């Protein structure tokens, strides 16, 4: 199975660049990335992105914390485009599982990306809340787990094995930290991996022989030392 690559960015210039890249199959955003990109109006900025990304799937996240407001925002976001996935956090800031929100939206056949997932137990609860006829993504935060000394691979293995029986659910490797994560995701038969632009660019160098890597590294040291005019 091919592991699709999504670009994790809300920067319109970057989205424009990678929208034309055949390596990239879609995009993911979140409120933090929107803020980083300088968005002032969430809706207006998202609509500008959609003028660039017209066909490839892209996720926009609700930012409400109250379930009722989450639903209100989700219905609005869903209207923005046929290629839009609505991102819903697995829990709100109080730790309450958003199962009822997920179920209502999924039953309306709204495409969902359930985010901030860290455990297999969360994956199971999400899968049980999703309508089997509605397209859905479950985003598991591998990098953030690894940052805290937790091996994310067992969570992915269990989640992928469990969700294989659901044709409508895709598992996404999120919070990618390095290019090798793409190899890991492929080995696990993960459906999607979302990656920052700089890491996607590194995939182009895959397959270089170790001696070439050594040469490139040493050349880099030499260039930097010359630029710095180091002397001893």
Cα dihedral 226, 219, 204, 31, rounded to 10, equals: -40
Burial 71-99 (b: 16+ CB within 10 A, else e): bebbeebbebbebbbbbbbbebeeeeebb
Question: Is the Cα dihedral 104, 110, 116, 119 positive or negative?
Answer: positive
Element housing 71 (H / E)? helix 67-78
Taking only the tens of pLDDT, the chain with its 232 residues reads 799 999 999 999 999 999 999 999 999 999 999 999 999 999 999 999 999 999 999 999 999 999 999 999 999 999 999 999 999 999 999 999 999 999 999 999 999 999 999 999 999 999 999 999 999 999 999 999 999 999 999 999 999 999 999 999 999 999 999 999 999 999 999 999 999 999 999 997 888 899 998 999 999 999 999 999 999 9
Which residues are registered as beta bridge partners of 6?
A: 26, 194
The two structure tokens encoding residue 3: 């592991």
The domain locations on the chain are: 4-207
Q: Which fold has domain 4-207?
A: TIM Barrel (3.20.20)
């Amino acid at each position: 199975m091919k592991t699709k690559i999504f670009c994790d960015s809300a920067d319109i210039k970057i989205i424009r660049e990678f929208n034309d890249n055949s390596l990239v199959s879609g995009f993911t955003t979140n409120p933090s990335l929107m803020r980083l990109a300088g968005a002032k109006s969430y809706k207006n900025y998202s609509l500008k992105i959609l003028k660039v990304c017209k066909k490839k799937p892209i996720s926009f996240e609700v930012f409400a914390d109250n379930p009722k407001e989450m639903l209100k925002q989700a219905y609005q976001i869903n209207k923005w485009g046929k290629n839009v996935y609505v991102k819903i956090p697995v829990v709100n800031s109080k730790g309450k599982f958003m199962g009822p929100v997920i179920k209502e939206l999924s039953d309306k056949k709204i495409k969902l990306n359930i985010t901030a997932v860290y455990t297999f137990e969360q994956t199971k609860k999400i899968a049980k809340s999703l309508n089997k006829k509605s397209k859905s993504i479950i985003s598991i935060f591998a990098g953030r787990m690894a940052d805290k000394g937790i091996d994310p691979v067992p969570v992915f293995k269990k989640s992928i094995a469990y969700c294989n029986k659901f044709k409508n659910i895709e598992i996404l490797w999120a919070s990618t930290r390095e290019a090798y994560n793409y190899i890991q995701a492929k080995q696990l038969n993960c459906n999607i991996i979302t990656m920052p632009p700089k890491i996607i660019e590194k995939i182009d160098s895959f397959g270089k022989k170790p001696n070439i890597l050594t040469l490139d590294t040493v050349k880099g040291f030499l260039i930097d030392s010359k630029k710095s005019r180091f002397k001893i």
